[in-house]
Structures are given as structure tokens and as C-alpha cells.
């Protein structure tokens, strides 16, 4: 039975006309890799889950799955350092489209590291088909088969044809309304007339590039403690640090009379807002929050954090990111009825967002029977035509990793690394100044 793409998926389908919209998860595993056993685990888990061949009908915006007789696992071969081999493999896969014909929506790779007696499972997935939560559901099943620790209740199929998005979010659709969503989208459009437009490099091509970082030891614990003192979230701190880093990277903006602000986007998981349980659902349930800093250079870091936390708190209360998602609906409508061509130039002009963030905290308990075998979990995001650079902080237990993807038309590698240096330095500054902040500043409610 075919299922209709939701508005965000329809927008992703438009983005794929320009460039692949793939994402990556990397699981660092204890011990040397057993390729044959891992392949059998992937094959078995996907067959039982029902994640087979993905059939996509872009004329009707429908999709469905059919059984897949074979799911491939590719072994990566490379030289030291292993992390560079890993980065190159991920980057290459993010720039490689999935086929037009029916296909398995995940590419599975494995990289062995004899030096450390560990190995990496690399999961490249077509984002249109699944969100990060769905991929973690599938990865957990694979790992429990691989390490031969079966979990009760995970030997049945996943829900690969999700319920209709509008029906799941009916309460929010009634409360927020299509007319109100349209008015919000128009209001956002005019707000974005005041924000900075990233420039495209003339020698920049279509490719995306990826980087992977490990935060300093203890970084996330210090930051979480500092955020508790300030009564803000770690995600608020990440957004404020990204805003500060982008402000430093766009210093020419300060001399402008009108476009002095910055717009940042953050991905939001909306599964908990549905009227049905989606914990067994292999699909895509994401929204997007927009944070607009009209004067990102005014005030100190503490004030920037307060303003950012205030905007994020208001968005969480209003829940506009659930739907109706006005911007996505408008884009899908224009594409369907007026053959709107998606280009980076159009986004630079009409939707000038400078950077994006997708943040996930993952406890070892998620992996249950195989938690001792999982050393780290890393995510590497796509950019799409809208975002010049996207940061994906992932906290696994007490480790913070950062996957970064940037368009080569917007950033050089040196510029991307400089931005990340400022991002981490800002997080350390927030952690170090927690005692001062506790006696002077509280975020608005």
C-alpha cells in the first residue's frame, strides 16, 4: 500500500534535484570486525524489519517498500590515520545519489582498525526515506544480531508505511491552522529581509565536504553543568555558540545598514507530538525551528545565550515546527503546479539561512544488550541547497562528537575549521563562566 510523502519529504525530493540529500551515522565498535557475520546481521535485520526496496513515485509523491533479496555491505580499505579514511568514505557517499530505480535506502559500509582493535559501521541513508531516529532503530537491530544478543520484542517488522502525517498531527493542525501557517511563512519571509546573505564563491562547485571532530574530554559534562546553572538547555548553548561563530565569520555584515542579522535553523524531532505511538516507525518525522538574531554582535556571550534560549523556549511552547509547515507546503505547491526550479541562488535570495544545527543525545542504554560494545556514535548531516553549513553534535554517554558538512561553494576547509574552532572555544567559555552567570543572569520565561 503506497504512502504519501509528508511536506518535509516533498521538499527533500525537490532538494535532491540539485544534489544528493544523504546523511550518515557512524558507530564505533569494540573489537576487530567480522565482515561475514555483520553482513548476515544487516541482511537479517533489514528483512525482518521490512526495510527492503524503496519505491518512490515523484509524480504522485507516493512511496512504498518491497522485499529486497540482497542487502550489500562494502568493506572500506584505507591507510592511517583511520579517521581520515572514514571521513573520505563518508564524504564520498554523501555526494553519491541513490539510484532512480527501486533500491534499499541505506548503504552499509565497514572499516576495520587493527591498530586499536576496533571497527566502524558506517550507515549512509537517503534522508527522504528516514530520519535519524528510524536509522537508530534499524542499527540497534543490526547490532543485536551481530553481537548475538537478541532483544525481546525486536524480532518483528518495523512500521515502514507510517500513518498520514496530517492525521497524526491533527490536534496541532487544528490549533495552528493552514491560514495561520501561511501568515507565519510570509512573516518569516519579511524577517529574512534583514539577515545576512552568504556569498557563493565563484570557484566553488556543487560538492559538499565533511569533517569529524571529537570535543575535548569532559567538555559535555562541564557544559551540561553550566547550562543547569543558567537554567538553559545544552541545545540552547550549541545554538548560541553557532551564532557567535557565524557572527565572527561574517564580519563584513557589520558594515551594512540593513542586512546585519543572522538566521539559523535547527532540526526538531516531532514524534512525541503525534497522536499515535511512532516508536516502531521507520519514516521521517522532523520539523524545523528558525532562530533569527537581529543584532548578533550586540552584547556579550551571556546576553546572546539568553536571547537564543528565549527564542527556543517560545518555539517549544508554540510548536509551530510541527505543522502545518507553511514554508514546506508552499514550496511543494509551487514545485508541483508551477514547476519551480530549486537553485541555491533562489535560497540565497529568498531564504538566506547561514547555518544549521541538528543535536542528539544518546545514552548507552539505547543499545541495551550491546551497550558495552558501542564506543561512540557519530552523525554527519547533509546541507541541501538552503544551508551553507550544518553542525551535528552527538553526545554518546560522556563523549561529544561533531559531524560537520559544508558546501564548497560557501566555505573553504580552512574557513570551516576556523568556524568550528570558535564554536568549541565558545562552549568552553560558557562552561568556564557558569559561576559568574549564576549570580547575574537568568533567561527570560
* pLDDT, tens only, 280-310: 999 999 999 999 998 898 889 999 999 999 9
Largest CA distance in the chain: 63
Question: What pLDDT does 132 receive?
Answer: 98
For the entire predicted model, the pTM comes to 0.93
pLDDT band at 198 (very low <50, low <70, confident <90, very high): confident
Mean per-residue pLDDT, 113-139: 97
99 with 212, same domain: the answer is no
Q: What is the CATH classification number for the domain harbouring 138?
A: 3.30.559.10
User: CA angle, 48 as apex, 135 and 45 as ends, to 5°?
Assistant: 50
133 with 198, same domain: the answer is no
181 with 138, same domain: the answer is no
Residue 241 has pLDDT above 60, yes or no: yes
Whether the Cβ atoms of residue 210 and residue 91 lie closer than 8 Å to each other: yes
**HEC profile of 22-57:** EEEEEEEEECCCCHHHHHHHHHHHHHHHCCCEEEEE
267 located within any domain: yes
Mean per-residue pLDDT, 110-125: 97
Question: What pLDDT does 295 receive?
Answer: 87
Question: What pLDDT does 442 receive?
Answer: 44
Question: What pLDDT does 440 receive?
Answer: 44
Mean per-residue pLDDT, 198-218: 87
216 with 89, same domain: the answer is no
pLDDT digits (tens, 9 = 90+) for 66-117: 999 999 999 998 888 999 999 999 999 999 999 999 999 999 999 999 999 9
62 with 110, same domain: the answer is yes
Question: What pLDDT does 340 receive?
Answer: 62
117 with 174, same domain: the answer is no
Question: What pLDDT does 151 receive?
Answer: 80
Residues of the chain with pLDDT > 90, as a percent, come to 67
102 with 185, same domain: the answer is no
pLDDT band at 444 (very low <50, low <70, confident <90, very high): very low
Q: What is the CATH classification number for the domain harbouring 183?
A: 3.30.559.30
Whether the Cβ atoms of residue 263 and residue 289 lie closer than 8 Å to each other: no
Which of 94, 113, 146 is the C-terminal boundary of a domain? 146
Q: Which domain holds residue 25?
A: 3-146
377 located within any domain: no
47 with 180, same domain: the answer is no
**How many domains does the structure of the chain reveal?**
2
Mean per-residue pLDDT, 165-194: 82
- Count of Cβ atoms closer than 10 Å to residue 223 Cβ: 22
Residue 334 CB partners (closer than 8 Å, separation 6+): 340
Amino acid at each position: 500500500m503506497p504512502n504519501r510523502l509528508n511536506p518535509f519529504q516533498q521538499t527533500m525530493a525537490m532538494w535532491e534535484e540539485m544534489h544528493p540529500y544523504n546523511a550518515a551515522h557512524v558507530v564505533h565498535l569494540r573489537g576487530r570486525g567480522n565482515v561475514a557475520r555483520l553482513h548476515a546481521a544487516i541482511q537479517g535485520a533489514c528483512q525482518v524489519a521490512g526495510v527492503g526496496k524503496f519505491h518512490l513515485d515523484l509524480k504522485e509523491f507516493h512511496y512504498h517498500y518491497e522485499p529486497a533479496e540482497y542487502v550489500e555491505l562494502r568493506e572500506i580499505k584505507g591507510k592511517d590515520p583511520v579517521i581520515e579514511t572514514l571521513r573520505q568514505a563518508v564524504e564520498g557517499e554523501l555526494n553519491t545519489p541513490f539510484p532512480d530505480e527501486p533500491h534499499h535506502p541505506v548503504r552499509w559500509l565497514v572499516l576495520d582498525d587493527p591498530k586499536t582493535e576496533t571497527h566502524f559501521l558506517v550507515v549512509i541513508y537517503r534522508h527522504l526515506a528516514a530520519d535519524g531516529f528510524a536509522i537508530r532503530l534499524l542499527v540497534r537491530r543490526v547490532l543485536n544480531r551481530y553481537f548475538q544478543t537478541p532483544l525481546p520484542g525486536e524480532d518483528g517488522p518495523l512500521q515502514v508505511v507510517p500513518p498520514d502525517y496530517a492525521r497524526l498531527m491533527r490536534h496541532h493542525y487544528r490549533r495552528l491552522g493552514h491560514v495561520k501557517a501561511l501568515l507565519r511563512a510570509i512573516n518569516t519571509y519579511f524577517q529574512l529581509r534583514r539577515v545576512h546573505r552568504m556569498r557563493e564563491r565563484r570557484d566553488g562547485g556543487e560538492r559538499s565536504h565533511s569533517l569529524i571532530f571529537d570535543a575535548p574530554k569532559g567538555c559535555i559534562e562541564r557544559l551540561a553543568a553550566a547550562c543547569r546553572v543558567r537554567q538553559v538547555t545544552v541545545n540552547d548553548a550549541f545554538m548560541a555558540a553557532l551564532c557567535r561563530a557565524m557572527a565572527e565569520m561574517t564580519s563584513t555584515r557589520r558594515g551594512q545598514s540593513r542586512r546585519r542579522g543572522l538566521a539559523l535553523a535547527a532540526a526538531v524531532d516531532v514524534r512525541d507530538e503525534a497522536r499515535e505511538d511512532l516508536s516502531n516507525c521507520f519514516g521521517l518525522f522532523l520539523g524545523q525551528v528558525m532562530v533569527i538574531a537581529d543584532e548578533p554582535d550586540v552584547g556579550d556571550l551571556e546576553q546572546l545565550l539568553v536571547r537564543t534560549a528565549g527564542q527556543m523556549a517560545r518555539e517549544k511552547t508554540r510548536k509551530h515546527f510541527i505543522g502545518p509547515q507553511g514554508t514546506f507546503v508552499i514550496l511543494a505547491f509551487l514545485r508541483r503546479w508551477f514547476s519551480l526550479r530549486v537553485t541555491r541562488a533562489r535560497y540565497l535570495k529568498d531564504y538566506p539561512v547561514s547555518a544549521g544545527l541538528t543535536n542528539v543525545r544518546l545514552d548507552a542504554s539505547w543499545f541495551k544488550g550491546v551497550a558495552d560494545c558501542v564506543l561512540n556514535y557519530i552523525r554527519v548531516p547533509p546541507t541541501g541547497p538552503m544551508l551553507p553549513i550544518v553542525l551535528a553534535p552527538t553526545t554518546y554517554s560522556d563523549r561529544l562528537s561533531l559531524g560537520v558538512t559544508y558546501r564548497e561553494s560557501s566555505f573553504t576547509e580552512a574557513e570551516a575549521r576556523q568556524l568550528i574552532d570558535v564554536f568549541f572555544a565558545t562552549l568552553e567559555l560558557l562552561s568556564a563562566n557558569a559561576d559568574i552567570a549564576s549570580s547575574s543572569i537568568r533567561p527570560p520565561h
